[in-house]
Amino acid sequence: SISARAKKIFASAASDRDKVVAQFRDVASMEGNVERGKTAFEEACARCHTPRRKGGRVGPDLSGVNNKSKEELLEAILNPSRAIEPRFVNYVVTAKDGQMYDGVLASETPGAITLRGGSEDDVTILRSNIQEIRASAISLMPEDIEKTLNKQQLADVIAFLRAGL
């Protein structure tokens, strides 16, 4: 019964993101401004996605996304959990003391793992202190960026990304 409830919840969440993408589909036909897009990107995205091959803390290098269509970028921005690159999978770790951690796997040794999240500091957890570790199907990238960026700002960010980082 738990499995059936979880499938229903995840299906609902996925369809909600599809509805948001559909509501914002007209952004792909809007004219974007690269300079405004750079500003919006720096405010909303650069914390995790550092452009120009510097490498973000937890987000992929976006220097090659200029070859993607506006529609593909819009989908990736508004529905980030649809496709997660394996090296950017969000892991959720429950420690034996009940504390929970999440982030991408920054490093791993036989005795410990290090998670990198959105904060400045990585978290290293001894394997002997781990009760459970699991990969999440949900991206670390926020799924509600449309609450931060309006349609014109999204068009501007897409123009900035397509201009070539």
- What are 54-65's pLDDT values in tens digits? 445 688 878 888
- Give the span between the Cα atoms of 23 and 25, in whole angstroms: 6
- Nearest partner of 104 among 140, 63, 137, judged by Cα: 140
* Residue 16 in tokens: 């909600």
Distance from chain centroid for Cα 138: 8
- Give the span between the Cα atoms of 94 and 131, in whole angstroms: 6
Mean pLDDT, range 29-57, rounded to an integer? 82
Mean pLDDT, range 14-36, rounded to an integer? 92
Query: Bigger pLDDT: 5 or 31?
Result: 31
Distances (CA, A) of 150 to 21, 57, 59, 144: 13, 25, 22, 11
CB neighbours of residue 85 within 10 Å: 10
114 pLDDT band, cuts 50/70/90, is very high
Q: How far apart are the first and last CA of the chain?
A: 48
Q: Are the C-beta atoms of residues 148 and 28 closer than 8 Å to each other? A: no
* Residue 121 in tokens: 């500091």
Whole-structure pTM value: 0.78
Residue 155 has pLDDT above 70, yes or no: yes
pLDDT > 90 fraction of the chain, expressed in percent and rounded: 62
Residue 121 has pLDDT above 90, yes or no: no
Mean pLDDT, range 28-47, rounded to an integer? 94
Mean pLDDT, range 55-83, rounded to an integer? 87
* Residue 10 in tokens: 């995840």
What is the per-residue pLDDT for 7?
59
Mean pLDDT, range 96-121, rounded to an integer? 90
Mean pLDDT, range 39-51, rounded to an integer? 85
What is the per-residue pLDDT for 12?
47
pLDDT > 70 fraction of the chain, expressed in percent and rounded: 84
